[in-house]
Amino acid sequence: MPEPSQYEPRRPEPDFPQQSQEHPGSTGEMDPPPDHGEHSYRGSGLLDGFKTVLTGGDSGIGRAVALAFAREGADVLFTYLPEEGEEAARTAQLVEAAGRTAVAVPCDIREEEQCVRLIDRARAEFGRVDVLVNNAAYQMAQPDGIAGISTEQFDRVVRTNLYGMFWLSKLALPHMPEGGSIINTTSVQAYQPSPHLLDYAMTKGGIVSFTHGLAQTVAGDGIRVNAVAPGPVWTPLIPSTMPDTASFGKQSPLGRPAQPAELAPAYVFLASPQARYITGEILNATGGTPLP
């Protein structure tokens, strides 16, 4: 077989080293380091002039989406948690290196008032919201299943994954022009829940229903609502929330996890005018795992 191009996204082998980190994890400590498209993504103006709001843009899928959106011509306001400041600074550098505006906002989307301030900031910076990407999420694996899920964990998972998405969608919609869109991040877990991620899988199922329902509600206003359902993806959440990283991704037919760079094009497509007749859809990016 030919040697891969230097721009080929790094694809960790199925037996990459066992490793663990404290939550929320650090990109720099991951082995191998995730590929966000730094050397591979080439834009073509699909989102030229778009004003976007992205939650969880500091690392992982969020960083890859921020980078891709910027290289497609979009300005990006993104959220991060205060403890993720160094990660957020790197994402901002990537957006600015593409010649676009980066606005990094510390925000805990579990709190409604912080969501209100976030959309107010977006209005002040951009005047409108062309695309909202509800990407931020929390998970923590529990080998004992439901018995190991504390009320504190359950509350954090639900408020991060569902409440934040609900509030931000409701707040952003009045400031979205016709042709705008909302893109939610769900998961293969919505359809094939793992017992050790029961609370997380439940919320991802809720995101699917929310996407279908909201799409019908706002279609008459010319707003589209879609979601991306990733399979296993190599992000800091994995070594910081999963006990067995050595086997991570092996269950997919492709036999490996995705790199964040391999997910970003799905978000670009759904945000772009090329998808203007697509709404209420879930774009599955699962490495071949069949979903309904």
200 is catalytic: yes
What tokens appear for 276 in the block? 């203007």
How far does Cα 259 stand from its chain's mean position? 12
Comparing C-alpha atoms, which of 261, 284, 264, 262 is closest to residue 272?
A: 264
Peptide bond preceding 24: is omega within 30 degrees of 0, i.e. cis? yes
Taking CA atoms, 258 is separated from 34, 118, 190, 220, in Å, by 9, 30, 18, 35
Contact present, 226 and 215 (Cβ < 8 Å) = yes
Contact present, 157 and 200 (Cβ < 8 Å) = yes
- 41, 80, 138, 200: the active-site residue: 200
- Residue 114 neighbours by CB distance under 10 Å: 16
What tokens appear for 41 in the block? 């993504």
The residues pairing with 131 across neighbouring beta strands, listed in sequence order, are 52, 181
Residues marked active site are found at 200
